[in-house]
Amino acid sequence: MTNTRNDLRNIAIIAHVDHGKTTLVDQLLKQSGIFRSNEQVEERAMDSNEIERERGITILAKNTAIEYEDTKINILDTPGHADFGGEVERILKMVDGVVLVVDAFEGCMPQTRFVLKKALEINLKPIVVVNKIDREFARPEEVVDEVLELFIELDANDEQLEFPVVFASGFNGTASLSPDPADQEDTLKVLYEAILDKIPAPIDNREEPLQFQVSLLDYSDYVGRIGIGRVFRGTMKVGQQVSVMKRDGAVKNFRVTKMYGFLGLKRIEIEEAYAGDLIAISGMDDIDVGETVCPTDHQEALPLLHVDEPTLQMKFLVNNSPFAGREGKWVTSRKIEERLEQQLQTDVSLRVDPTETPDAWMVSGRGELHLSILIENMRREGFELQVSKPEVIVKTIDGKRCEPVENVQIDVPEEYTGAVIESMGERKGEMLDMVNNGNGQVRMTFLVPARGLIGYSTDFLTLTRGYGILNHSFDSYKPMTSEKVGGRRNGVLVSMENGKVTAYSVMQLEDRGIMFVEAGTDIYAGMVVGENTRESDITINLTRIKHATNVRSATKDQTVSTKKPKIMTLEEALQYASEDEYCEVTPVSIRIRKKILDKNEREKSQKKSK
């Protein structure tokens, strides 16, 4: 008879992006009585990073724990975005069950499928929460049928198909077992009880030799690298001498200097941990994800955890534009390299490779969002750098060049389907399915080369007037077609002079295209200042001033008004830049510039390449 730890449960909350995981965890925390009555708790308390709070998405997996009826429940909040799928996979290895959150209106989405597939593969017990039950047009019963179909499609076993369903509103902190919104109870009690009843308690084998596996990494300036993971077997104590079975097969010994448990939003120092506990340990500088910590006299490694391969790469360079060093604090190659190495301490899906020049690095990641968040964090910290256009990583499989292909799901109002199908065709998308939901919404599924999706989201929002929803997840590597896929159609307006933009020159030139700068902005020769209405690039002078004459005109004193310029966000600029351009990123500005700033040099180089 195996003993279990009935005072403990380990669960992960999984869902598609924006289905309400983090808000639900907030309510679970508040209602468990873990906070004092006078304690101020922010909305989405788990999203601690500034960018997460601004964008309303979870980027890094977080763990927390609550006490309910003498049982400690460890909760892991996972990211819902496809770029952070690797995090989800590793977290699921730490838990015994999952709470699958599905929006009562949107139903099953691509990421719902992805995360559920991973959970069922490792035989975790599911609880389904149909969230946002109070939403307009909510269709809870249909959504439960959709979820059941998804379970069957993913080959769930009989035990997994017996999942309990809780209908909830994470925002209001209410739940019930009935799909009728009027039956909602004032608390999440039914969800707590479902967790205690249905999620298996961890096995208690604390007498056996220790096995602890690292699933997530953290970093602290005081104690260095911190490994977060689960004790799968045995007992672990502070001060204990242990061995780490490295990814490459080597074995290193170290002493556990500090151990932390979790409660609420805090980490608490603990002296010992037993089988089933989720803890963080420090004491070893180069501990990595998937490695096993075990006793020195009983070295036995757990199977290594799979880490997703990067699919997209960009070049990071030291800023060498005429404005270099004006706005940033950290501008040297040494500082940038140190910062990238620091990122590698905690981000396992990232790769940084040196290039032939000492002031440039090839940085590879899981997608545009993954890399743009790294760049955004760097600029907020005071870094100044240049980055190239993102490009997909091509692999050679069986002697053929293969590129990543994404599975894209698009939900749009009926009137936009023609435009979306045409734009997908231009990006070499192959339609797999199209379903009309009957409420004026159409859901389409495509297979599209990943390079066709670079820069597509901005076009997509324009095409669908902001009503479309686009989701994509990695599908597979397929042989590459040599044709150009996607990309920018129009040429750009490039500045020919250094100086300040004048209202006079903007007025003279604004019919040439859309301006990216306004009067008073500092510009330099070779900087992209607008988009041309035609396909070719043209060089223009935006710094000209009107020469005063002694001729007076009757209409002279009318005020000058120019069109509002298009100011780009970091993501838009990265998507917009072309192969012969860099994005210059500083704490204050985001500029697009030509790689070769001098007009004559640029023209010579273009002739050569043709």
Q: How is 1-43 classified by DSSP, letter by letter? A: ---B-TTEEEEEEEESTTSSHHHHHHHHHHHTT-S-TT----T
Residues in the chain: 610
What lies within 8 Å, CB to CB, of 172 at 6+ separation is 134, 184
User: Which residue, 582, 588, 575, is CA-closest to 379?
Assistant: 588
Three-state DSSP class for residue 246: coil
Contact 312, 365 (CB under 8 A): yes
Return d(Cα 525, Cα 84) in angstroms, integer.
39
Contact 605, 596 (CB under 8 A): yes
As a dihedral over the C-alpha atoms of residue 367, residue 371, residue 374, residue 380, rounded to 10 degrees, the angle is -120
**Strand partners for 280:** 228, 260
Contact 443, 409 (CB under 8 A): yes
Structure tokens at 418: 């023609």
Return d(Cα 443, Cα 435) in angstroms, integer.
5
Residue-wise burial string across 386-409, b where 16 or more C-beta atoms lie within 10 A, e elsewhere: bbbbbebbeeeeeeeeebbbbbbb
Structure tokens at 24: 């639900």
Return d(Cα 59, Cα 39) in angstroms, integer.
26
Where residue 334 falls (left for φ over 0; alpha for ψ -120 to 50; beta otherwise) is alpha
As a dihedral over the C-alpha atoms of residue 213, residue 243, residue 201, residue 168, rounded to 10 degrees, the angle is -30
Residues forming the annotated binding site?
18-23, 131-134
N- to C-terminal Cα separation, the chain: 75
Where residue 106 falls (left for φ over 0; alpha for ψ -120 to 50; beta otherwise) is alpha
Residue-wise burial string across 7-44, b where 16 or more C-beta atoms lie within 10 A, e elsewhere: ebbbbbbbbbbbbbbbbbbbbbbbbbebeeeeeeeeeb
Element (H, E) at 259: strand 258-263
Return d(Cα 13, Cα 22) in angstroms, integer.
9
In one-letter notation, the amino acid at residue 234 is G
Three-state DSSP class for residue 201: coil
Structure tokens at 303: 């199977």
Structure tokens at 589: 């500005």
User: Which residue, 99, 92, 67, 94, is CA-closest to 262?
Assistant: 67
Contact 408, 471 (CB under 8 A): yes
Return d(Cα 371, Cα 387) in angstroms, integer.
10
Return d(Cα 495, Cα 544) in angstroms, integer.
11
Structure tokens at 527: 């900087």
Residues forming the annotated binding site for GTP?
18-23, 131-134
